[in-house]
Amino acid sequence: MADIVKIVIDGREIEACAGATVLEAALSAGIYIPNLCHHPDLEPYGGCRLCIVEIAGMRGLPTACTTRVTDGMTVKTYGGELDRVRRDTLQLIMANHPSDCLSCAKNQRCELQKVTAYLGVTERTMARTMPEQEVDDSNPFFTLDRNYCILCGRCTRTCAEIVGVGAIELMGRGDQTRVGVFGDKTLMESDCRSCGECMARCPVGALRPKVNVVPAYEVLTTCPYCAVGCSIYLGMRDGRLVSARGNKDGGANRGMLCVKGRFGATEFVQHPDRLTTPLIRGDNGQQPADWDSVLDLVAARFKSYAPDEVAVVPSSRTTNEDVYVAQKLARAALRTNNIDNCARL
């Protein structure tokens, strides 16, 4: 267990893990401090400057996300200069952010909306400072629309810290700062592996999925591709599989996914090419047949062979229960040990 320290935030004494940041300590004690660039999976950054606080004995307005707690620390999160500076900072972000919230992909899930509402800011007071930005539409699964970007750096840090690719970075300076790819190429021309981890952490609508349907409900299951066994939520809406997202509590993936899990696990399921009827080969090739007669045929034919004349190959892609029943069929019904899977391939 980590050591526990006691700190006081806005007059409330709370316990925090030694080594935690002031922001982490506050949030885990249920005390909200406005923040945008902070993400629990990422290293402290101190970029958006919304989480500024006053700390007794410290000069200036340190950012809570980059300041570690110490025992007996006294923190103030609101009032006076803090409120004024924080509002000005927010105005700078809002100046360059579109206000078409109703039609935005992130409407109601946008963290900028949350901060704006919390601070009670209803009007823009600053004129736009940045020129219209290019939209990178090259990736088939998600869009990078820099016009919505607030330059919090969550995406670029995710690419470097979480997936270790570094395909995107914050480029340029001042009003030329942008999320970009080396050489100002498109995402598709970059090292991007299209995992969408950046999109999953974007607080606003700058990185957004091209298929943007809010699911009616989600079901927790396991990704069907490789053997990592990522725990995923599949979303359903109007009878169609519409979304996939990583489960934070997944023992193997802790919320992370790759391109196939996030974007490739649903489209094939309801694909028109699916086999939907049994087929029996006759004189004119394989023809549709009804289940009853097919099952009778298979059972009768299987019964006609000696145990050493038959072999069963269950799938390493189907469930344990599917495989168990197949090996039981081989051993108990066909009386053969000729059963193997593709593990040795």
Partner 1 sequence: MAGLATQFGSGAMTNSIGDIAQSACLLNIGANTADAHPVIAYQMEQAVRRGAKLIVINPRRVGLVRHADLWLRPRAGTNVSLLMGLCRAILDNGWQDDAFIAERCENFDAMKQSLEQHDLDSVAKITGLKVSEITEAARMYALNAPAAISYAMGICEWSHGTDAVMAVGNLAMITGNIGKPGAGVNPLRGQNNVQGACDMGALPGIYVGYQSVADTAAHEKFAKAWGNTSGFTPGLTLTQMFDAAAEGKIKAMYIIGENPMLSDPNSTHIEKALRKLDFLVVQDIFRNETTAMAHVVLPGASFAEKDGTFTNTERRFQRVRKVIEPLSGCRPDWLITAQIAQRMGAAGFDYASPQDIMREINALAPGFAGITYERLETCGGLQWPCPSVEHPGTPVLHTHLFARGRGRFMPLEYRPPFEVPDKDYPFLLDTGRALFQYHTGTQTRRVAGLNKFMSEEKLQINPKDAAKLGIHEGDMLAISSRRGSVRARAALTDVTPVGTVYMTFHFRETPTNLLTSPGRDPVTHTPEFKACAVRVEKVL
From residue 184 to residue 213, the character string flagging contacts with partner 1 as x (rule: CB under 8 A) and all else as - is ----x----xxx------------------
Contact 105, 208 (CB under 8 A): yes
Per CB under 8 A, does 286 bind partner 1? yes
Stated as kind and residue range, the H or E segment containing 235 is strand 231-237
Per CB under 8 A, does 42 bind partner 1? no
Which of 102, 227, 238, 284 forms a contact with partner 1 (CB under 8 A)?
A: 227
Per CB under 8 A, does 312 bind partner 1? yes
Site for partner 1 in 153-182 (CB under 8 A): 161-164
**φ, ψ dihedrals at 203, nearest 5°:** -75, -15
In sequence order, what are the residues at sequence separation of 6 or more whose Cβ sits closer than 8 angstroms to the Cβ of residue 51? 23, 33, 34, 35, 38, 63, 64, 65
Per CB under 8 A, does 83 bind partner 1? no
**φ, ψ dihedrals at 321, nearest 5°:** -65, -40
Whole-number Å distance between alpha carbons of 255 and 228 = 12
First to last CA, the chain: 44
Which of 89, 136, 266, 283 forms a contact with partner 1 (CB under 8 A)?
A: 266
Read off the tokens for 126: 């600053």
**Cβ at position 142, least distance to partner 1 in Å:** 10
Contact 21, 67 (CB under 8 A): yes
Q: How many residues bind partner 1 (CB under 8 A)?
A: 109
Site for partner 1 in 108-147 (CB under 8 A): 140-141
Q: What is the DSSP letter of 276?
A: -
Per CB under 8 A, does 20 bind partner 1? no
CA dist list (Å): 33 to 4, 28, 66, 95? 21, 11, 13, 22
Of 58 and 297, the one with the shorter C-beta distance to partner 1 is 297
**Cβ at position 326, least distance to partner 1 in Å:** 5
Of 13 and 290, the one with the shorter C-beta distance to partner 1 is 290
User: Other C-beta atoms within 10 Å of 333: how many?
Assistant: 13
Per CB under 8 A, does 44 bind partner 1? no
Whole-number Å distance between alpha carbons of 312 and 336 = 9
Whole-number Å distance between alpha carbons of 45 and 155 = 12
Determine the interface stretch with partner 1 among 14-22, 65-73, 100-108, 304-312 (rule: CB under 8 A). Answer: 304-312
Site for partner 1 in 319-338 (CB under 8 A): 319-338
Which of 45, 91, 236, 237 forms a contact with partner 1 (CB under 8 A)?
A: 236
**Cβ at position 262, least distance to partner 1 in Å:** 10
**Cβ at position 314, least distance to partner 1 in Å:** 4
Of 123 and 273, the one with the shorter C-beta distance to partner 1 is 273
